[in-house]
Amino acid sequence: MWFFARDPVRDFPFELSPDPPEGGPPGPWVLHRGRKKATGSPVSVFVYDVKPGADEQTQVAKAAFKRLKTLRHPNILAYIDGLETDKCLHVVTEAVTPLKMYLKERAEAGGLKELELSWGLHQIVKALSFLVNDCSLIHNNVCMAAVFVDRAGEWKLGGLDYMYSSQGNGGGPPRKGVPELEQYDPPELADGSGRAVREKWSADMWRLGCLIWEVFNGSLPRAAALRNPGKIPKSLVPHYCELVGANPKVRPNPARFLQNCRAPGGFMNNRFVETNLFLEEIQIKEPAEKQKFFQELSKSLDSFPEDFCRHKVLPQLLTAFEFGSAGAVVLTPLFKVGKFLNAEEYQQQIIPVVVKMFSSTDRAMRIRLLQQMEQFIQYLDEPTVNTQIFPHVVHGFLDTNPAIREQTVKSMLLLAPKLNEANLNVELMKHFARLQAKDEQGPIRCNTTVCLGKIGSYLSAGTRHRVLTSAFSRATKDPFAPSRVAGVLGFAATHNLYSMNDCAHKILPVLCGLTVDPEKSVRDQAFKAIRSFLSKLESVSEDPTQLAEVEKDVHAASSPGMGGAAASWAGWAVTGVSSLTSKLIRAHPAAAPAETNVPQRPTPEGLPAPAPTIVPATPASPGPWETQEEGTDTAEDRSAADRWDDEDWGSLEEAESVLVQQEDWSTGGQASRAGQTSSLDVKSSDSDWSSWDAEGSWEQGWQEPSPPEPPPEGTRLASEYNWGGPEPSDKGDPFAALSARRETGAQLRPDSWSDDNWEGLETESRQGKAELARKKREERRREMEAKRAEKKAAKGPMKLGTRKLD
């Protein structure tokens, strides 16, 4: 039976790259690139081939193998694996590049900054301090060839071939036998004078001085060149001179050298070194210190090397979020570092963290995510947006904090292109309708209109036909002037999405009403829009064959290319209104800004004009979906209009009926929403809109109005005047009853005013009929006041915006 010996090199879990070797330290070692067979992760492999007659070199190589395997320090080359055979030695370390090659590559790319050099030298000196002070070892080979750089730009000390103990254990320093290394030996080793009396670190500190000279000036030609500092920074020159002094006893300990360089004004006293030192000890820092560090980190990242940000800062940021309590402060530096990643790296490292952040209930986290969404939206795919991000983002529409509601609206500009049919055309439109009709903040209502105009091209043809005209028409009746401007600009931005009939019968009548608006900015925009629509109508009138071309986008499928006008509108939306929103919200956090010079809506036909009232900050519409029509419109025009309130957006009417029937309608399973969704006791979440009334402070603008104040003393009721009849009437004031009924939103009874003839008061028969009608109204008024008083006593004032059913 034959037995075949296994090849240990072939079974080694690492393989060498076919690329030529990168060299290595002077001596027998050769540095190769390699990778781990199982994972493909890059490594560096130092290879030594055993040669006959080179026993001394072989012993030095084996000693270096042993030293590197047993020494563990962040600034010493990290050992991963090794292989020792009769023919070769393989030492596998982290992926590194020789310092000489690294400096050459960076010089071709623009050179290294002093910040990077200061931290690199700090690391080498710290490694020497560890060897001398903690391990009592003399490196005996400090030079540029013994220093390597990893992918994060960290400098590592290697070249441990000639290391020996400072305590005399194991004999003296081994013989190098390499001429290139002997030029770094200190002068006291070449003579036998009394200067040979030195500290244990003296020789290594001299060699450190040689390394500093080479880093700034290139390869050292001879020892005499050390007298000229050359390009060494002035802040480092005094400390460098101490290292290359002729007296070995005055050369500082590595620890003291670091302390001197870290003094105020020193070469290593800078933000980059401080950041690195903090990151090395971040696990033992207090939470308050971490918070302050991450808040200040973003300002410094622009001056830090890209490799350092990607490979050292980013892992610490991800760890701080995953296992620490850093919270929202990591977002700004995280997205700043993310700019250095390619698409694949971003998907693997940043996106999982972002998705997890969206589920957080921390308001600061949520608002920062919304503010910085532009930086990562391009890396999110549609399934992730629709299933993992949008369900959490929509909670912001219902938040009690106006700033979060505003940012949520603005974020829809970025999310809309990635939303599916249900989320975009149903869920999002439902929330937009509520914000535009009921939000107490005028700027938020305005931004909702702006956003709807910008995403109109993404909506389906049916949704556009139902929603856009009605939404922009409602905006033109908003008491907040910028909202009216937004409504006009919305029409203009989406002009290509309307048929000619809609332009003539629905849009132009609305715009013409704005030509007498109290605000000149509204009038100016209205005239511009009217001229634009009239120009289209006139062109089609002159040449009817253009109709198909003009209306080509009306029934087309949603497409981002259709919103050409909306693209030019973006500058106005972002720079004009959004900044205004923030200012107004900060100035008036509890209520919407005062709105004056509000145009009075025409009174519907058949009703007496109500007394002038102060318009609240939020538009008090009869219902969240009911568009206020002009009083001059005919019933046929109103029924033909495509209004939002004609659609079944989640069975709103059914939800309102439930609210009216409940005895205590402020409860019913509602819960306050502070970054969390309400738990509602209804069958379908899509059809239950009562959660919108479950907000906190912002619903104050929708309270039930208090009863009308009594008239001033001495004021006579309308019934006390003689209206031309045979005798004064003792009936009550019919206007007071009508006013009470108008405030409760109740529908007029068929026999309330339409059957009355004011001239008939002169006859006895008409008086009897009027008396009967008055008694019915008085009875109804007392009944409504009793119900209102009962509900006030139970839960306080009611909210406006709910239509009462008779």
**Where do we find the tokens 């209206």?**
723
Q: From the CB of residue 721, how many other CB atoms can be counted at a distance below 10 Å?
A: 10
The per-residue pLDDT for 535 is 93
To the nearest whole percent, how much of the chain has pLDDT over 90?
A: 34
Looking at per-residue pLDDT, the higher value among 212 and 635 belongs to 212
**pLDDT interval class at 587 (50, 70, 90):** very low
Can you give the pTM of this predicted structure? 0.62
At 779, the amino acid letter reads E
pLDDT at 191: 64
If pLDDT is split at 50, 70 and 90, which confidence band does 435 have? very high
- Given a contact cutoff of 8 angstroms between Cβ atoms, the answer to whether 92 and 80 are in contact is yes
Task: Tell me which of 355 and 657 has the higher pLDDT.
Answer: 355
pLDDT tops 60 at residue 98:
yes
Q: Which tens digits make up the pLDDT trace of 103-142? A: 998 888 877 888 999 999 999 999 999 999 999 999 988 9
pLDDT higher than threshold 60 for residue 735:
no
Which whole number is the average pLDDT over 755-760? Answer: 36
Six-digit token string for 555 = 């029934």
- Percent of the chain at pLDDT above 70? 68
Compute the distance between CA of residue 719 and CA of residue 771 in angstroms, rounded to an integer: 12
Burial string for 238-272 (b: 16+ CB within 10 Å, else e) reads: ebbebbbbeebeebbbbbebbeebbeeebbbebeb
* Statement: residue 186 has pLDDT above 80: yes
Distance between the two ends of the chain, CA-based, in angstroms? Answer: 104
Residue 345 has pLDDT above 60, yes or no: yes
| Pairwise CA distance, residues 791 & 771, whole Å | 31
| Distances, alpha carbon 346 to alpha carbons 352, 386, 401, in Å | 9, 19, 31
Task: Give per-residue pLDDT as tens, 387-417.
Answer: 999 999 999 999 999 999 999 999 999 999 9
Contact 386, 423 (CB under 8 A): yes
Give the model's pLDDT for residue 432. Answer: 94
Is the Cβ–Cβ distance between 97 and 106 less than 8 Å?
no
**Most confident of the following: 298-307, 391-400, 715-724:** 391-400
Q: Which of 171-175, 449-453, 519-523 has the lowest mean pLDDT?
A: 171-175
More confident residue, 557 or 275: 275
For the CA atoms of 777, 782, 786, 792, the dihedral, rounded to the nearest 10 degrees, stands at: 80
Work out the pLDDT band at 171, boundaries 50, 70, 90.
low
- Residue 609: the pLDDT is 36
Distance CA 28, CA 47 (A): 8
Residue 441 above 60 pLDDT? yes
310's CB contacts (< 8 A; 6+ apart) are 152, 337, 340, 341
Answer yes or no: is pLDDT of 462 > 70: yes
Q: Which two tokens stand for residue 125?
A: 């000196």
Res 394: pLDDT: 92
Give CA–CA dist 611/605, Å, rounded.
16
Closest C-alpha among 458, 466, 455 to residue 420: 458
Question: Which of 239-248, 483-492, 593-602 has the least mean pLDDT?
Answer: 593-602
Mean pLDDT over each residue of the chain, to the nearest integer: 74
pLDDT in the model for residue 110 = 79
Please give the average per-residue pLDDT across 168-174, as a whole number: 70
Per-residue pLDDT band for 325 (boundaries 50, 70, 90) equals: low
Q: What is the mean pLDDT of residues 700-704?
A: 31
- pLDDT grade, residue 505 (50/70/90)? very high
Closest-CA residue to 356 (of 343, 371, 366): 366
Q: What is the pLDDT of residue 583?
A: 44
Residue 292 amino acid letter: K
For residue 705, the model assigns a pLDDT of: 35
* pLDDT at residue number 616: 34
Token pair, residue 633, equals 């419109």
pLDDT of 170: 63
> Which SS3 state, helix, strand or coil, does residue 169 take?
coil
Residue 559 confidence (pLDDT) = 54
User: What is the Cα Rg of the chain in Å?
Assistant: 40
Residue 55 is predicted with a pLDDT of 83
- Closest of 630, 605, 631 to residue 506, by C-alpha: 630
